[in-house]
Structures are given as structure tokens and as C-alpha cells.
Structure 1
């Protein structure tokens, strides 16, 4: 593909939107006067934690599976995921009467494993991170002949994720900036491609975990582009390298990328829980964490904040609270 990202166009996102419209939720774009005051901005939270299966991932998975040929559908689908893509694939496949098999990292939160099975998929736990699960799924796919549904490095998946931006622009015409979490890059690639071709004055900012900064490193020309290890509480964005297809789109369309620590993410999780009564996962809180910590300049602006998912492990709340109460995290919140 070219560096301009010609293979993901506005018409692809609109087509995906038409595919998804009968099935997915048009998630709300919420505001909080408390958070607006803290940030000195108008924040608009795109609540994909309220999406079917609990995250945005169903958008890309459903668009991809809907577009499969009848022959491909007969052979079933296979995927690798840290959890949310797994549920999106399982739900979408079962909805269309297709078999699904999902490889997930061994440390995937049990709530996500149980939910994936409940949506009808066969689940195989393997490896430390997404990368190992991905490699195992690819080997299985070569034998089974099932269609591999990539969690991010696929144009139809990216187009599905881009429908979030289309909804946000429809819901609030005043947006100046959209802040987006980044794992492998499918969400931000879809969002940025739609935004820059449809409303190019809107700034797109990506957020990665300091424990998994592969795309940040590559975007900035720093450090390793492929990480040996990833760590952190935002398991949904702990990816060892950016996508072959996603990165050119990110590099061309995204304005800035920042990183946030586990303490900053935990602070955002606890604030969302205490003030808005919403328990979101680490990846889902990453964009808000970047704003709370001052990593993104939002003063006086209208800012879209993508809350990408809510499939969190409730047993980890005490741990998140301890992280949020650390001196570093407390200083960053108070400074706003």
C-alpha cells in the first residue's frame, strides 16, 4: 500500500457502518461536569464499554465476518486475542451460524475467557502475550483452512473500527480532538483514516501503555519497534509490535502519540468508577489517563475520548486503587 493509506477510504467505513447498523449499539457520547472542570475542557466520552460484548472490537470482527464468502463461512473462522476481539469474533460468528476457534494468552482475565466461550467459541489458552497466541492460531489456520480474523491488521476490521469516529462526528459536530488507545493500531487507524478524510481539522492523538510502547517508539523513531516483553494493567493494548497495515495509516494520519503509566491508567479507572459509576478496563481508561496526566493538551477544547472497553476483572479493583493512590499518580491528578 502507499504511505497515504489509499486502501482504507471513507466509503469503506460507510459500507461497514451499513453492515453493523442492524446489530451493534450506537453507543452514547457522555459528558461529566466534574471531568470537564478537572480538564478545563469539554470532554465527550464515547462509551464503547456499553457496546455489545463490552468493547469496540465487535465492530471490526462483525464487518469482516459479514463480508466473507459463503465458502469461507462454511470453513469457520479462527482468531487470536487478548480478550475483546475474541468476544467480538465469537459473537459475530455465532450470529451467522459459523464455527469459531479463538487462541488467547494464558494470562487473559478469566471473565473474558468465560464470556468468549459463552458466545459460542472454542477457546485455547497459550503463550505469554498476544504474539504467542497469534502464532499458534496461524499454525492452526494452515491446517484447518478456517479464515483468520485478525484483531487489527486487516482493512475490513479497521473500517469497522472507524465507524466509531463516524458516530462521534454525528453526535458532536464541535470536536477539535479525538484521543484513542493504541494496541496493534486497528482502532486508531480506522478512526484517523475516517477523521482526516471526512473532518481533517480534528486532531487525532494516540495513547499507548509505557509497558508496551511499540507503536510509540516507531512513530517517534525511538527504541525498539518489536518488543520482547510487554507488561501492564491495560491488557487490551499490550501488543509487541504495530501492524504491517495499520502503521502506515497511523504514520500518515495521526497527529501525536503519547504513553501513560499503570499508575495513571489506574487513576483514570478509579475516577470513572467513583464519579461516573462505570468500571472500565485498563485499555478503556488509557485515553482518559492521558488527559488526566496532562500528556495531551486539551485546555479549552472539545475532546472526544474513546472508552474502548469495559471487560475488566472486578477482583483487581483493590490493586487498581493502590496504584491510583501512589504519590506520582496523586500529584498528576492534583495538578490538573
Structure 2
């Protein structure tokens, strides 16, 4: 399969290794063809279709990564593909999917909405549904990433994997069942879309009532039966991470590893940052995808900087006197805050006649520096509110 799927690099991460207290490596599936691991499962599933099945075409449901995997696999295998995507799917993923020759139809706001539409299309047209995670061939295809990890890092003891429907973590965990080697596999979900913890506790897949996360690639409301069984058997734990952790992880991967990942792709890094001593080294952290809209990337980076204490947005009241603004800016310069933007507001019903309000966007060097800036403002008699 190497002529279709590129073996992705395993990169040593010094900064994560220092946090964990042992070797940590990044499995760079963001550098896979189509920008994520999804091509692995899609190609294996579609290559195993009969000639008659291939002639009927395929249909898929995806926010983007699985869509691209299915579209490219279909192009390589000469199969007609139709993909249902949720409204608001990232523009780069949509464009890439079209470029691989798929027909795109928009429906609903989640992968689950798209799956329902894809099943209806399957019933109406006879096209074969290529499920994003709930099929043995999909899980088998994703397992090739696990086989690569073992080949590239035979000493691995922990593998941390972003988890949505569960196909990738199920495949990797299945691939780790060899020679009795004690390899712990840990899945990671976004807190706002974490279906697995409750499902595992209940012993069966349980649907979420709602989801809210920037990590659209792992926003799946109902675990698949096939990966659920493998995860029950082989995965040691499924952790959750918050939005601040996701954005901080994305920022640090960009800064320290010089790699672009999407929020879902950074989920495993976020879990390690949240509790680095939990993971027994050597650790392999999977970067599952790198397809991110540049506009979203800018927003997430700003969020990540704020979460890391490196971006401060606030409003400060100052006296409406000559030199008042200059004095404030001087105080900020004294504590080495980098001023990104200043808005001087003189008219507001909440201001006294002798006051003006200044909206500030500041760059700081971390949480300690951020607190030093705020303490300096208070010490100099300024009243502020954080945005």
C-alpha cells in the first residue's frame, strides 16, 4: 500500500520529552497525503470492494478529512464518489475534496447529520457507504499507522491518539496487540464532544445530546460499534481536553515542532500538556491531521496565546486629562508589555465626565508576565476589565 499511502515521519520532541521526563515522539499523520490519516482506512475499504460494487459508486459523510481520503481513493481506483459535508465545513477541506473529483452535497451541521443523508443516498442509488470509522476495513486501514509506529519506535510504551468515532485509536490499539509487549494506548476527545467516556461506562455506544468544540475532526456524537468493541478490549483510557488546552497545544506544535495541525490533530498533545507525568515513556503522540482553514488558524492561535497568558485584552479607565493616555502607555512600557492595538473611547454612558476608556490588546511573555502587567496597573491606580 506504500504506493498510495506514504509512511509518515516520527519526529523526536525535545520540549514534550522535557515535560514528560522521557522520550516523546510525534507521529506526523498531518503530513500524510490529503493531510490526515483518513486515506489509510478509505483506501483499504474501497480497494476491497468487488468490481460490481465499485461500479455503483461510493458515498461518504465527513467534515473534511475523511472526505478527502474517500475522494482521493476513489480517484485512484476509478470510482465515482459523492460526499455529504456539514454546512460550515472548512473551506480548504471542501476545495481539496472537489479537486480529487468528488461531488459535494451540504446538509446539516454535524457528521451525524451527514451520515443520515449518506445512508438515505445509499438506499436510493445503490452507492456503497464508506463509513468514516464504523467498518472493519476502515479500522484495518487505520491500523497501518500503528504498525508504522512499532517499526519506527520498537521501544514505545504509550501511544496517545486523537479520538472521534474511534477508528484510528481502535486500529492503532489493535496493531499493538503483539508479542505481549506492554504498550498502553490512550484515546483523547474534546470535552465538548466526548461520547466515549460515558459509552464505555455504560458498556455500549451512547449518543450525545449536543456537541460544541473547535475540533470538528473529532466531533462525533455516537461511537461506532466496530471501533467501540476494539476500544473496550485494547484501549487503556479515553481522556478529555478543553478548548483552551486544544488551542495551546496547536500553538505550541506550530512554535516548537514547526508543524501545522488542526485542533483535532492537536488533541493528543493537549492531553500530554494537561498531565505530562501520566504517560509512561517512550511516548508516541499522534498528530492526526493538519487541514485547517487559515482564518480558523488565526483565531485559534489568538485563543491559544490568551490561554497561555501571552495575549491580554482589556479595557482601562484613565483621567480625561492631557497626557493621560501617554502616562498609561508609559506604565505598560515599564513592565515590557508589547502593545498590539489601542482604541481611545471618549463617549460612553458608563463613563464619568472626567474619564475616558482605553481598549488595549497586549502581547505578554506568559502567565507570570501577564500577572505582573495587571498588578502594575492596579498598583498605579488604574481600574480595568478583562475582555
Q: Decide which of 271, 285, 298 is 1:290's aligned counterpart.
A: 271
Q: Secondary structure at the match of 2:186?
A: strand
For 1:151-300, what aligned pairs fall within 5 Å after superposition? 151-197=132-178, 200-221=181-202, 225-294=206-275, 297-298=278-279
Shift, 1:230, TM fit: 1.1
**Over aligned residue pairs, what C-alpha RMSD do you find?**
2.1
For 1:1-336, what aligned pairs fall within 5 Å after superposition? 20-197=1-178, 200-221=181-202, 225-294=206-275, 297-298=278-279, 301-326=281-306
Shift, 1:246, TM fit: 1.4
Q: 1:56 to 1:64 in 2, by over 3 A?
A: same
How many angstroms apart in 1 are the aligned matches of 2:253 and 2:24? 13
How many angstroms apart in 1 are the aligned matches of 2:189 and 2:180? 24
Shift, 1:322, TM fit: 3.1
| Aligned residues of 1:40 and 1:298 also touching (Cα < 8 A) | no
Q: Secondary structure at the match of 2:278?
A: coil
1:227-272 CA deviation, whole Å, 9 max, x = no partner?
A: 1221111110000010122111111111111000111011110011
Q: 1:199 to 1:308 in 2, by over 3 A?
A: farther
Q: 1:198 to 1:65 in 2, by over 3 A?
A: farther
In the alignment, structure 1 segments of 5+ residues that lack a partner are 1-19
TM-score normalized by the length of structure 2: 0.77
How many angstroms apart in 1 are the aligned matches of 2:133 and 2:88? 20
Higher relative contact order (CA 8 A, sep 6+): 1
Q: Secondary structure at the match of 1:103?
A: strand
Look at both structures and tell me which one has the larger radius of gyration over its CA atoms.
2
Going by fraction, where is strand more abundant, 1 or 2? 2
Shift, 1:326, TM fit: 4.0
TM-score normalized by the length of structure 1: 0.89
How many angstroms apart in 1 are the aligned matches of 2:90 and 2:200? 30
In the alignment, structure 2 segments of 5+ residues that lack a partner are 311-365, 369-387
